[in-house]
């Protein structure tokens, strides 16, 4: 039985949504530049729990009511910059293809691609690229279907994502949410005016935090096993802050387990399956860069 029911999760979702909104309208509240920096950057520090609430909504676990789950998920996604429909489709493809040739960020075959080019792409992705690609999805969602198909023709995963979205009956909702997300950005930069760089800094911080945490559980893990991900150790306050996301291996094996039951599932694992790598160490380990495919293949 879940320990957390609708009311506490609703409070958390409302607080984080309000914080995200405050970041956008901070210039209407702040009386000086120092206060403006605080109002912009503090909400950015809570980007990960915001993103992880979206993750719960993607899996239909945020609320028992499907209507409440969709409404809250859409609101959280609009305030972070991308429609729920796009994030859901991309994440479900991740569950299907993780660690296959379609979805393994750090793996490089130097026979096919230059080391420098792949390194630039890899670091760009984990240092913010993942988040800003999701935001770019808001713009792409508003383009004609033929244009979108043409843009994705060089990416197998991109083609699958595009076809999944364009064939969806919810495409009108996705486009409506995309317009709302883009309107938030336009209005925010207009509010900030000459202090646009404060908002840009907050968005870059959000991109860095989300992108690096999203990749941390898969870096240097075995290939061709979509159900595998790392469970990482973390102190109790951090586990609470990240909604137990450090137990990502449990999540990949059991995507229907809500965040507040992940710790119990982890405790019931046999000792040999429990990870001892700290989250912070693995977070920094990603900065070592791309890994040759043959290195990970040899570990099988």
pLDDT given for residue 140 in this prediction? 84
The beta-carbon contacts of 161-169 under 8 Å, at least 24 apart in sequence, are 161/89, 161/90, 161/93, 164/89, 164/93, 165/85, 165/86, 165/89, 165/141, 168/85, 168/89
Distance CA(196)–CA(190), nearest Å, equals 8
What confidence category does residue 108 fall into, taking pLDDT thresholds of 50, 70 and 90? confident
Q: How many CA atoms lie within 13 A of 202 on its CB side?
A: 30
pLDDT given for residue 159 in this prediction? 64
Q: At residue 15, does pLDDT exceed 90?
A: no
Average pLDDT over residues 279-291: 94
Q: At residue 5, does pLDDT exceed 50?
A: no
Q: At residue 148, does pLDDT exceed 70?
A: no
pLDDT given for residue 64 in this prediction? 86
Q: At residue 1, does pLDDT exceed 60?
A: no
pLDDT given for residue 9 in this prediction? 67
Looking at 152-166, 217-231, 233-247, which range is the least confident one?
152-166
Among 20, 30, 12, 65, residue whose Cα is nearest residue 180: 20
Strand partners, 231: 247
pLDDT given for residue 22 in this prediction? 85
Question: Which residue ranges make up each domain of the chain?
Answer: 6-297
Q: At residue 7, does pLDDT exceed 50?
A: no
pLDDT digits (tens, 9 = 90+) for 37-68: 999 999 999 999 999 999 999 999 998 889 99
| pTM of the entire predicted model | 0.90
Mean pLDDT of the chain: 87
pLDDT digits (tens, 9 = 90+) for 201-212: 999 999 999 999
Distance CA(245)–CA(257), nearest Å, equals 12
pLDDT given for residue 3 in this prediction? 46
Q: At residue 127, does pLDDT exceed 80?
A: yes
């Amino acid at each position: 039985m879940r320990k957390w029911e609708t009311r506490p999760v609703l409070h958390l979702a409302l607080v984080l949504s309000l914080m995200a909104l405050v970041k956008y309208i901070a210039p209407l509240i702040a009386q000086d530049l120092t206060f403006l920096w605080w109002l912009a950057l503090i909400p950015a520090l809570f980007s990960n729990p915001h993103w992880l609430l979206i993750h719960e909504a993607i899996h239909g676990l945020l609320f028992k009511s499907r209507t409440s789950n969709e409404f809250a998920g859409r609101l959280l996604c609009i305030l972070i910059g991308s429609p729920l429909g796009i994030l859901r489709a991309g994440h479900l493809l991740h569950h299907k293809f993780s660690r296959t040739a379609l979805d393994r960020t750090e793996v490089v075959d130097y026979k096919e691609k230059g080391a420098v080019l792949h390194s630039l792409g890899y670091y760009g992705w984990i240092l913010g690229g993942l988040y800003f690609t999701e935001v770019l999805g808001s713009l792409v969602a508003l383009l004609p279907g033929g244009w979108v198909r043409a843009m994705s023709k060089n990416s197998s995963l991109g083609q699958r994502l595009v076809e999944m979205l364009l064939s969806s009956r919810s495409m009108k909702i996705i486009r409506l949410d995309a317009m709302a997300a883009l309107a938030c950005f336009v209005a925010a930069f207009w509010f900030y005016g000459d202090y646009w760089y404060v908002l840009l800094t907050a968005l870059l911080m959000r991109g860095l935090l989300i992108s690096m945490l999203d990749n941390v559980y898969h870096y240097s893990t075995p290939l061709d096993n979509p159900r595998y991900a790392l469970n990482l150790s973390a102190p109790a306050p951090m586990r609470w802050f990240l909604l137990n996301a450090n137990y990502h291996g449990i999540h990949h094996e059991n995507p229907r387990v809500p965040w507040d039951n992940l710790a119990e599932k982890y405790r019931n694992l046999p000792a040999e399956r429990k990870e001892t790598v700290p989250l912070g160490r693995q977070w920094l380990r990603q900065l070592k860069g791309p890994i040759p495919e043959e290195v990970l293949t040899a570990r099988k």
